[in-house]
Chains A and B, each alone.
Chain A
């Protein structure tokens, strides 16, 4: 597509429920990133996919968080048993390859856990 697409744009969920956030990167981009941004804060790295390599999961805050990327394209970030501290904007970005490029970000998913 022309840009990085994320859905839903907003998600309100009850504490303890599972949520899935979707990211559709730019066609042909082999690298995909998930970051999250809490209110008034900088971006916190979560996970990075590059081609067929094993993903860099070093930023996932707990085992409640997981992500997959199917067919080298669409990615889903899953948060199980959501907690209030999970409330944030979840941003997805893609680049043509893994390093040396500026990111193209989506508009993000604003997650609110009540």
Chain B
């Protein structure tokens, strides 16, 4: 069955460092992969989408890579700030199925 694993439930880093979150998947061939941010008590907020033919995508301090051979995506936040503290979810989607499948998330804490 399809499985999505996000590295460790929690990640703690120091302000100014680069946070790297991992999303691994098995038994899936996604056409695209998404990353979301979720704050407590709120719905997820869409950050970035990367397609299977794209290796890397950037948006401000965010960078996403997508390796379909390794079946892995890496999500980087550079120059991290305490305000980046949240849970980050990855989700895999396909063009022949509207629904996306979500990982359980990684909770990032950036300490001042």
| Residues in chain A within 8 A of chain B (CB atoms) | 4, 31, 33, 35, 41-43, 45, 48, 50, 56, 58-59, 91, 93, 98-108
Report the separation of the CA atoms of residues A103 and B49 in the bound assembly, to the nearest whole angstrom.
10
Chain B: minimal CB distance from A26 (Å): 12
Report the separation of the CA atoms of residues A31 and B26 in the bound assembly, to the nearest whole angstrom.
27
Assuming A102-B49, A103-B100, what are 4 further A-B pairs, CB within 8 angstroms?
A: A42-B102, A45-B101, A56-B99, A93-B43
State the main secondary structure of chain B at its contact with A: strand
- A99 near B44 (CB under 8 angstroms)? no
- B98 near A104 (CB under 8 angstroms)? no
**Quick check: which of B11-19, B69-77, B78-86, B87-95 contacts chain A, the rest being far away?**
B87-95
By Cβ-Cβ distance, the 8 closest A-B pairs, closest first, are A102-B46, A105-B43, A42-B104, A43-B102, A98-B98, A48-B98, A42-B102, A45-B99
Which A residues are in CB contact (< 8 Å) with B44? 43, 91, 103, 105
User: Closest chain A residue to B32 by CB distance?
Assistant: A100
- B89 near A31 (CB under 8 angstroms)? no
Given contact pairs A41-B104, A42-B102, A43-B89, A99 touches B43 in the complex (Cβ within 8 A): no
| Residues in chain B within 8 A of chain A (CB atoms) | 4, 31-32, 34, 36, 41-49, 51, 89, 91, 93-105
- B98 near A33 (CB under 8 angstroms)? yes
User: Closest chain A residue to B48 by CB distance?
Assistant: A102
User: Closest chain B residue to A97 by CB distance?
Assistant: B98
- A107 near B98 (CB under 8 angstroms)? no
- A102 near B31 (CB under 8 angstroms)? no
Which A residues are in CB contact (< 8 Å) with B47? 102
Which B residues are in CB contact (< 8 Å) with A105? 43-46
Chain B: minimal CB distance from A6 (Å): 8
Which A residues are in CB contact (< 8 Å) with B89? 42-43
Cross-interface CB contact of A100 among B43, B93, B101, B104, cutoff 8 Å? B93
- A107 near B99 (CB under 8 angstroms)? no
Chain A: minimal CB distance from B19 (Å): 19
Residue in B34, B45, B93 whose Cβ sees the most chain A Cβ within 10 Å: B93
Given contact pairs A42-B104, A43-B102, A50-B98, A99 touches B45 in the complex (Cβ within 8 A): no
